[in-house]
Chains A and B, each alone.
Chain A
Amino acid sequence: MIELTDTNSSDIAAEFMRARTRAGSPVMGMVMTLIIVVDEDGATDALDAAKDASHEHPARVLGVILGNGRGAGVVNAQVGTGGGWAGEIALIRLEGEVVKHPESVVLPLLLPDSPVAVWWPKDHPADPATDSIGALSRRRITDSAYVTRGKLKALRAQCAAYSPGNTDLAWTRITPWRALLASALDQHPAKVTAAEVSAERISPSADLLAAWLGHRLKVPVTRRTSAGPGLTSVVMETREGPIRIERSDGKLATFSSPGKPDRPVALKRKSLPELLAEELRHLDEDDVYAATARALAKTR
């Protein structure tokens, strides 16, 4: 990584070019620009996840760390390629006045034509679509489970502020559950009369799963609190008896259905790079999330 102190976007862009030439102009089929807006503490974890995800989605990754907004504006950056990245990386630290204008730093560094995604690994703006960086992006990824303040309300606020292109990693975390539940109903095409979702007290994923079940099945869904970790069980009541998925260790679940023997199912909680990679796989609006978010925003 090359350090650039007190720099600007065109120097960063020039350094991208030099880094690429130094590496012998390797083929880089970069498919998107991924902007990560994070604080200093969260930067390492977020970049590690992005590095892994870059193997599936080679991207120009722009890590933006917003520092203290007081004083004259200073832009410092580290720029590099290779070293485990399938693509390019610039970690840009902003301080002073420029903290209020991060989009001016990012805009000249977006790859031509290809889509832009932004990810807020911790705290996110109340309305991502109107945020100055969010507005540059086609995809906006938030993570309500990891906000530092107002955990209880974060997801609801996101759902209320939904606009096309937004998704929350809480939604990505329940894809395996949803897949299993859907295939359970493929096998038992029975009418579900009620459902129940149990999870830790604060679990945006469980709230979304409950909202999804309620919206799709048009039945009341009860949300219960358990000791965790994460989601621990989902029950769908049918006339023949309950279809139940229980997972107490975050890894192996038991699947039971009426008239059938209980069966173990691997249902691991996904790692951050896997979640991010899944998110970046689809760059258009997630209609099912949209409907679920609207349903959740309406409840209570």
Chain B
Amino acid sequence: MTTAARDWRANPLRDPQDRRLPRIAGPCGLVLFGVTGDLSRKKVMPAIYDLANRGLLPPGFSLVGFARRDWAHQDFAQIVHDSVKQYARTEFREEVWKQLAEGFRFVPGNFDDGAAFERLRRTIEELDEVRGTAGNHAFYLSIPPKFFGDVVSQLHEHKLAEPVEGSWRRVVVEKPFGHDLASARELNDILDGVFPAGSVFRIDHYLGKETVQNILAMRFANAMFEPLWNSNYVDHVQITMAEDIGIGGRAGYYDGIGAARDVIQNHLLQLMALVAMEEPLSFEAVNLRTEKLKVLRSVRLPTRLDLATARGQYVEGWSGGVKAAGFLEEDGISKRSATETFAAVTLHIDTRRWAGVPFYLRTGKRLGRRVTEVAVVFKPAPHQPFSATATEDLSHNALVIRVQPDEGMTLRFGSKVPGTAMEIRDVNMDFAYGGTFTEASPEAYERLILDVLLGDPPLFPRHEEVEESWKILDPILENWARKGKPDTYESGTWGPASADKMLARDGRTWRRP
């Protein structure tokens, strides 16, 4: 799904048949706001090193750090060095480091400090001069959204957001994309006022995962799945993203946000869109977006939101052999917090393909284990020539797309138990991504950062998608806000009893993922 509309004809050394040649970004640099954050250190910096190590960054690539620290360039280089040593996926090589480190710069300053942004502008100009970054720069805002306004208006004021003819400026933002429809629009207005829509890259790192991209390959490159992919054969779909950890050090961010805003709004609804959408005209960004938007726009909420949704908060319990504190006992969380750490919702998609097939989305912290998966559960065979006792152990056929960990696919179906007269039991057929293809799949961030530098947008949600997602979630959140506190569930279990009841009302049960 990568073919960027680039014109290879101009370059005689390029040939569309030549699949060995990787896509290397053109001359460019990245400006990183918020260099001390977890995300920068654990994901962004290692991904940049890994890209350089794989030979995918241009010679002269430059990385500028911008933060409220009194640092020199070397201090910044040291931070990147430590992060790369600790978190990079590929081996540390001195020559790669040398290539990268020559392009490190650091600009100290506050996000509203005009003088600092003037220094930033001079730094960028200097880089264009000595490193040949040719005026192409991406601004990576790895900072809380409340600072976006400051940074973006400073970028605008100091003419950093306007590319000279023949070069580009892009901005990269991370979730959360607002906390409801109104704030998402506000955020978008801030960015939109300065950067054109095509230059804003919203990172939803789930979309950079190989397994998520494989959903499209699996659905649209094969003949055997698509005929079953509709309400004639599918009973319902369960999309789960479970974490075994608590909120850890993210209390400040998490309290008041909760599981639904943190995960369902972006990752789960995007996964749902990819699973449910029609075949796009091509894998170009605009066509993919059109199909995803159609799914999001055809979502219908159940009438009784209280019965078709569930939320919970983890309380003290044993999680994987370790005693875990409850949510309300976590540092920095108010004792009266009504923030949910588990959320489950039922959604209907009003299209011919999916009418009558509910999509159950759930996510939570401190659940049984860390797992993300999409389970397409099929209807029972219309007629069983076997006796009821023979098929006692047979449940619904299912196709499970395991997004993480242990990426792959499982097909679950009935098979005869050997030795018995006729007894049918569920068996699994497994495809493990790690087993069949490289164990060294690139990290989602590598792919996404490279796509930003190449200007290749298919894997980034646009603001229309963000807004549609909020339109789905807002009524649910309002309903919850009116109804007081969430239910509780013991840490290390699979969520509150209300979530099980929610499915039981439809005569179904959650899979144990």
Contacts and interface: CB of A to CB of B under 8 A. Distances in A.
Contact of B438 (A56, A175, A213, A252): A56
B14 interface: yes
A213 to B, nearest CB: 8
Contacts of B21: 175, 178-179, 182
Contacts of A277: 438
A187 B17 contact: no
Contacts of B82: none
Interface string B439-456: 110000000000000000
A56 B440 contact: yes
Interface in B1-52: 10-15, 17-22, 24, 26-27, 52
Contacts of B53: 266
B436 A261 contact: no
Interface residues of B, number: 41
Contacts of A217: 12-13
A252 B131 CA distance: 17
A288 B15 contact: yes
Interface stretch (A23-31, A39-47, A71-79, A199-207): A23-31
Nearest to B100: A266
A176 B98 contact: no
A65 interface: no
Given A29-B435, A261-B130, A252 B17 contact: no
B486 interface: no
A175 B20 contact: yes
A226 to B, nearest CB: 20
A150 interface: no
Nearest to A245: B59
Given A179-B21, A266-B52, A288-B18, A186 B99 contact: no
A182 B435 contact: no
A189 B11 contact: yes
Interface string A73-112: 0000000000000100000000000000000000000000
A260 interface: yes
A1 interface: no
B20 A264 contact: no
B437 interface: yes
A101 B190 CA distance: 73
A156 to B, nearest CB: 22
A211 to B, nearest CB: 13
A153 interface: no
Contacts of A180: 24, 55, 59
B239 to A, nearest CB: 24
Contacts of B98: 252, 264, 266
Contacts of A287: 15, 17-18
The listed residue with most B CB atoms (<10 A of its CB), out of A179, A217, A286, is: A179
Contacts of B60: 255, 260-261, 263
Interface in A204-225: 213, 216-218
A263 B59 contact: yes
Contact of B95 (A192, A218, A268): A268
B132 A264 contact: no
A264 B132 CA distance: 12
B422 interface: no
Contacts of B431: 27, 29
A176 B95 CA distance: 15
B79 interface: no
B189 interface: no
A96 B137 CA distance: 67
B131 A263 contact: yes
A216 B52 contact: no
A10 interface: no
Contacts of A175: 20-21
Contact of A55 (B95, B131, B438): B438
Contact of A179 (B26, B55, B438, B439): B55
B131 A261 contact: yes
A286 B437 CA distance: 20
Contacts of B440: 55-56
B26 A264 contact: no
Given A182-B21, A183-B26, A55 B439 contact: yes
B182 interface: no
A2 interface: no
Nearest to B439: A55
Contact of A263 (B12, B129, B132, B439): B132
Contacts of A189: 10-11
Contacts of B18: 178, 287-288
Contacts of B13: 178, 181-182, 185, 213, 216-217
The listed residue with most B CB atoms (<10 A of its CB), out of A56, A172, A213, is: A56
B438 A265 contact: no
Contacts of A268: 93, 95
B435 A261 contact: no
A261 B132 contact: yes
Given A189-B10, A216-B13, A179 B59 contact: no
A58 B439 CA distance: 10
A286 B27 CA distance: 29
Interface in A266-287: 266-268, 277-278, 282, 286-287
Nearest to A189: B10
A251 interface: yes
A208 to B, nearest CB: 12
A293 B439 CA distance: 32
B435 A58 contact: yes
Interface string B264-303: 0000000000000000000000000000000000000000
B277 to A, nearest CB: 27
B430 interface: yes
A200 to B, nearest CB: 20
Interface in B297-356: none
A157 to B, nearest CB: 23
A29 B12 contact: no
A264 B99 contact: yes
The listed residue with most A CB atoms (<10 A of its CB), out of B95, B98, B134, B439, is: B95
A216 B12 CA distance: 6
A278 B55 CA distance: 14
8 closest A-B pairs by CB: A29-B436, A252-B95, A56-B438, A263-B59, A182-B13, A266-B96, A287-B17, A260-B132
8 contacts: A55-B439, A179-B22, A180-B24, A182-B11, A186-B11, A187-B26, A187-B58, A263-B132
Given A182-B11, A251-B95, A282-B19, 7 more contacts: A86-B435, A86-B439, A182-B14, A182-B21, A218-B12, A266-B52, A268-B95
